[in-house]
Chain A
Amino acid sequence: MNNITSTFIGALIAIMILFNGTLSNALGNYTSSVIIHIVGLFCMIFILLISKSTVKLEKGIPLYLYSAGVIGVFTVLFNNLTFYKLGVSITLALGLLGQSLCSIVVDHFGLLGMKVVRFENKKYIGLFFIIFGIIIMTFF
């Protein structure tokens, strides 16, 4: 069951790119980003209500910790821009490559408070397969 749920989360991400990309093609990038966030915010308020959680602005939390939502805006904009040109699967495959590269850099230098995990040359093999796979997806 846990395996099915995990795969389902991935499926939802692909479906989300289709939904957001379609909206963005029709209304424009920025209008759709506002709508996507309004719908999401309403859903979050609903979840807060049914889970009876409370939200308060706590002091002493560095401001940059709240920046993930701002970065998320760029994720949405970037996905919507590429969805139209490259379709869903190549957009996602390139995104996965970006995630792998970024994780490697963050781990290697221990950025953003993460533990240092030095890059191993063996990882070039994995990166090679990812890039080779994307090339085949794009040209065949």
Chain B
Amino acid sequence: MLLYVMIAILSGVSIVIARIINYNLAKRIGIIQGTFYNYVFGLFVSFIFLVLSYELHHISTETMKSIPLWAYLGGLTGVLVVVLSSYITPKISAFYLTLLMFIGQLFVGIIIDYYTLNILSIGKVIGGFLVLIGLSYNLLIDLKSIKLR
């Protein structure tokens, strides 16, 4: 359990580091071009992992067909996130963008858990609000220190 908690936190850490590097790359070659290279190098590394993992031996076309089609659309969803983010970033303050994205993530996540795990927990809703209060409080501190400079 604790191991998975650590891994989930590390996924957040990896998002921030990738975002900063992306931002620096996009400044030089453009957002769409930068994202294109991310997928090229990401695919390359994933492929190396796949070859090293021996997972290839277990893949059968039957299992691949048995999976619902929507499960294959994560890559498309990821690209939509990048494109929409780059479209919206100049139009809205970073504070509201970050906060609204967090609200969308947490509450759609709670809805998905309700439908997939059949858990409707008040704890998740209340806990989700507390997470949002903490995030927005710290974002407001950032906002103030940016304005002061």
Partner-B contacts on A (CB < 8 A): 2-3, 5-20, 22-23, 26-31, 33-45, 47-48, 51, 53, 55, 58, 61, 64-75, 78-79, 81-82, 85-103, 106, 112-114, 117, 120, 122-123, 125-140
Bound complex: CA of A120 vs CA of B81, how far in Å?
A: 31
Partner-A contacts on B (CB < 8 A): 1, 4-5, 7-22, 24-25, 28-30, 32-43, 45-47, 49-50, 53, 55-56, 58-59, 63-64, 66-68, 70-81, 83-85, 87-88, 91-92, 96-97, 100-106, 108-110, 112-113, 116-117, 119, 121-124, 126-135, 137-138, 141-142, 145
A22 partner, pick from B28, B71, B102, B104, beta carbons under 8 A: B71
- Whether B100 contacts A6 by the Cβ 8 Å rule is yes
- Whether B138 contacts A44 by the Cβ 8 Å rule is no
Bound complex: CA of A71 vs CA of B113, how far in Å?
A: 27
> Residues of A contacting B76 with CB < 8 Å?
39-40, 43
- Whether A133 contacts B129 by the Cβ 8 Å rule is yes
Q: For residue B74, give the distance in angstroms from its CB to the closest CB of chain A.
A: 4
Bound complex: CA of A96 vs CA of B104, how far in Å?
A: 12
- Whether B77 contacts A15 by the Cβ 8 Å rule is yes
- Whether B46 contacts A30 by the Cβ 8 Å rule is yes
- Whether B101 contacts A39 by the Cβ 8 Å rule is no
Q: For residue B32, give the distance in angstroms from its CB to the closest CB of chain A.
A: 5
- Whether A102 contacts B13 by the Cβ 8 Å rule is yes
7 pairs, A vs B, C-beta closer than 8 Å: A10-B104, A26-B71, A28-B55, A37-B42, A79-B11, A98-B16, A136-B123
From known contacts A88-B109, A89-B106, A89-B113, infer whether A40 and B14 are also in contact, taking CB-CB under 8 Å.
Answer: no
- Residue among A2, A6, A87 with the highest chain B CB neighbour number at 10 A: A6
B11 partner, pick from A19, A82, A134, A137, beta carbons under 8 A: A82
Q: For residue A119, give the distance in angstroms from its CB to the closest CB of chain B.
A: 10
Q: Which residue of B lies closest to A91 (CB)?
A: B8
From known contacts A55-B33, A89-B112, A91-B8, infer whether A33 and B103 are also in contact, taking CB-CB under 8 Å.
Answer: no
Bound complex: CA of A113 vs CA of B95, how far in Å?
A: 21
- Whether A36 contacts B59 by the Cβ 8 Å rule is no
- Whether A68 contacts B18 by the Cβ 8 Å rule is yes
From known contacts A75-B18, A133-B128, A136-B126, infer whether A6 and B81 are also in contact, taking CB-CB under 8 Å.
Answer: no
Bound complex: CA of A10 vs CA of B110, how far in Å?
A: 12
Q: Which residue of A lies closest to B117 (CB)?
A: A87
Bound complex: CA of A88 vs CA of B108, how far in Å?
A: 9
